[in-house]
Amino acid sequence: MPTFADIVHNLKFTSFPILFPTTVRVFTSLFGTSDAALRCFGFLVGAGLLVVAWLNARNRDDVPLILPALVGLNVTFLTAGTWIRGYGLGSVLVTLGFGLTVLFVAHPTILRLVVMFVCYIASMQTLYFPAAVIPSFLLAAFAVSLFRRQFKWAFALCLVAAICGLSYIPKFLTYFEIRDWVLALQRKTTPGELWREFMMACGEPTQVAPWIWLAILAMSIFGAIWIVAAKSRRDSTSANVFVFAVLTIILATPMYLVFLWTLHNIPETRYYLTLLCILAAVVELIVGLLAQFAWIRIARLILTICLTAVLPVLAWPKITEPETNIDLLAKNLQTYAREGDLIIVNRWFLAPGFNWYYHGPAQWMTLPELNEKRIHRYDLLIAKMQTPDALADIRAAISQTLQSGNRVWLVGGAQLTQQGEPFVLGPAPNPQYGWDSGMYDYSWATLLGAFLQQHVVDGEVVLSPLPGVNSNENVPLLIARGWRD
């Protein structure tokens, strides 16, 4: 966006609150917008996780082992967490918020409460998912305060919770602006889908990793309950911290899953990153406190060594996998596509990436054609879904280009059904598929394929999808020449 005012104006079309795009804008203003600079941003997020893990551990005179191993070597964090999106930074900030809450629970002071509150707000204004776990911190700390009869601090926690909730009022007001087009993003999710994505988020191998997480969590809870029963009379501070940690696990996990379910979005692996960071931070806390026993210290060290030896090997194929081949396609088009040619980007959601990399002379359009190509605009997509003939402008542009002797380049190719007939959907909502934008994407691709098959004289594949590239953005490049009626 040209100015910061444009960012604020378009914020309702993004997945993140104001602090994350502001952070990226400040970073790029200082260090530029090259791919190398943006990868350094992701690297700093990863380094931030290690710093937070160290700070949380040093607050209790320990060293971080479990958190860097479980999350720092987790495929989800090493990929989605270091994207130029808020999942990693927001998760790091909420993990710091957890550590600050532990300090407050151990010895409550005004300064610790204020610092904890500021960290909460920072994480909530970077990513929306912390709003699903911060209430569990506050409820657990509130329960401990009531148990200790510290009613003043219990009231202060209620005040913090109220202000955190009020900070989302602008988002709630924005909902009335976006409710007409978020339908394209929403559908009912099942517990099976939530569990499947959680298993993938836990890392490689997906059949084993979630059970490792669950086993470590179960043993940590059991150990915390056992130590509370043994120490409650002798060391009330330690017992209170254990109680806080156990309550956080018990509250955060179902609250987070309910939050994901109520979103009605297609569940994605990256959505679980915040929960994984918090669970790992809680385990780090509990195991660190239990490390007063020699056998637990030895077991923790062995576990960390095993994870450090195995996880990088399992993660290596994924973390070295290119996320896109759009940059390569754009480079070739800048070289070979001339003025007068037409580029069709199929499908529309590839537009921001193509817009970022392509700076050639040829005109380009999305399928269907959307006026805004820098960001994803579901409001424009919904309008196209409701149009009886959403590809009329695409067909006209292709016809004019080919009849004038120029070429049409197809980023993402086209789609042909097995029956050879296009898959046609009427204006949304469709009686069978409703507002499912994926089905409309498929329909438009088949309509494009049928039109090209009918009218193009000659075509060929210029670039095929590359091996070892993420399938989300690994698309072919085709060329079409000549027109026939």
In the Cβ-directed half-sphere of 291, how many Cα atoms lie within 13 Å? 21
346 φ/ψ angles, rounded to the nearest 5 degrees? -115, 100
Cα dihedral sign, 134-137-141-142: positive
Would the pLDDT of 120 be above 70?
yes
| Counts of helices then strands in the chain (DSSP H, E) | 20, 5
Of 324, 320, 328, residue with least CA distance to 349: 324
Q: Mean pLDDT in the chain?
A: 91
pLDDT digits (tens, 9 = 90+) for 132-191: 999 999 999 999 999 889 999 999 999 999 999 999 988 888 887 787 888 777 777 888
Query: What's phi and psi for 436, nearest 5 deg?
Result: -65, 105
| pLDDT tens track for 85-107 | 999 999 999 999 999 999 999 99
- Predicted structure pTM score: 0.90
Residues 449-470 have pLDDT tens digits of 999 999 999 999 999 999 999 9
The pLDDT assigned to 276 comes to 95
pLDDT, tens digit, for every residue of 242-292? Answer: 899 999 999 999 999 999 888 777 788 999 999 999 999 999 999 988 888
Task: Report the candidate in 344, 425, 431, 445 with the shortest Cα–Cα distance to residue 385.
Answer: 425
Range from 79-88, 222-231, 348-357, 441-450 carrying the lowest mean pLDDT: 222-231
Residue type, 367: L
Question: Considering all CA atoms of the chain, what is the largest pairwise distance in Å, rounded to the nearest integer?
Answer: 90
pLDDT at 72 over 60: yes
At 395, is the pLDDT very low, low, confident or very high (cuts 50, 70, 90)? very high
Q: What is the structure's pLDDT at 235?
A: 54
Taking residues 310-332, report their average pLDDT.
91
Boundaries of every domain in the chain? 4-319, 326-483
The mean pLDDT of 376-397, rounded to a whole number, is: 94
460 phi, psi to nearest 5 deg = -155, 165
Residues in the chain: 485
Pairing of strands 408-411, 477-483: antiparallel
Note the pLDDT tens digit of each residue in 280-310. Answer: 999 999 998 888 888 888 999 999 999 999 9
Model confidence band, residue 232 (pLDDT cutoffs 50, 70, 90): low
Question: Tell me: the pLDDT tens digits for 405-438?
Answer: 999 999 999 888 777 788 999 999 989 888 888 8
Residues sharing a CB contact under 8 Å with residue 396, sequence separation 6 or more, in sequence order:
none
Q: Is 439 helix (H, G, I), strand (E, B) or coil?
A: helix
Rounded to an integer, the average pLDDT of 1-17 is 89
Q: Are 388 and 426 in contact (CB under 8 A)?
A: yes
Q: What is the DSSP string of 77-139?
A: HHHGGGSSSHHHHHHHHHHHHHHHHHHHHHS--HHHHHHHHHHHHHHHTT-SGGGGTHHHHHH
